[in-house]
Structure 1
């Protein structure tokens, strides 16, 4: 029991940050799925265009939630740079999603609502999320100490 308590104390900040990231991600995910399906089935857009536009909507939600809640304690010095990095890294996450969707539709030949949603909105979002959490902490919402030491060096 003491080991668990010690581990929790050591990683409490990361655990709380990850929980907030997950909450923001859940809201962004609902936005993603709803918007993507609206673009696909409500507006009749092609699968890649609908996925891309749904992801852009979710990205706006995620930036606001992460900037002002999840990582509010981290460096926010350069808002425009943070914004550009966030959207650039989300572009990489989007490419991961699109690759999963493309592979499922084009290579596997599975093209229906279930296949599209599993490929783009489950597998693609899952893999993209792992990349996003790591990259946000590393480059966008850096710890104040890390940001200050990099500014001194560069």
Structure 2
């Protein structure tokens, strides 16, 4: 027997109520939320590697940034592919992702190096750069890297008549 309604609780055996999984599942069904959760964890991995290479190993910030960025590649690709629930073949998605990563690598390394000499330092530079790339990456992932292949989209549209 279901209680229904906006409360989200269901009545089960003996009148016990259990919370509906709708709240958490609805949150995870949101593509932006999944993207941000994966991106947030990837940022922690990337920043941790950057700190390791720059602070502990003494590498120049631009080299440390580039290497940390590249090492987080597989982690981020795999989890973002899942986050976007991509049906695109791995070959195509990986090539597109690699192109985007190359663009992001140049942009990230350049911006972090440029901003690291300002009062915000290398950590602030990394945060600012990540915010900028986060916005453009969402749209590029959604509409290009992990987008459904056009043949799938075309097959769901109305048939065209030949003249």
TM range (shorter): 0.7 to 0.9
TM-score for both structures, normalised by structure 2? 0.69
Distance 1:124 1:117 in 2: 10
Distance 2:77 2:134 in 1: 13
Is 1:75 the counterpart of 2:79? The answer is no
Larger radius of gyration: 2
Asked if the contact 1:93–1:129 (Cα under 8 Å) also holds between the matched residues in 2, the reply is: no
More strand by share: 2
Q: Which protein, 1 or 2, shows the higher relative CO under an 8 Å CA cutoff with sep ≥ 6?
A: 1
Q: Which consecutive unaligned segments of at least 5 residues does structure 2 have? A: 1-25, 156-163
Give the superposition deviation at 1:143. Answer: 3.0
Is 1:148 the counterpart of 2:158? The answer is no
Distance 2:52 2:104 in 1: 21
Matches within 5 A, 1:45-60: 45-60=59-74
* Structure-2 residue corresponding to 1:137: 142
More helix by share: 1
Q: Which consecutive unaligned segments of at least 5 residues does structure 1 have? A: 1-11
Distance 2:137 2:50 in 1: 19
Aligned residue pairs total: 130
* Structure-1 residue corresponding to 2:98: 87
Aligned-residue CA RMSD in angstroms? 2.5
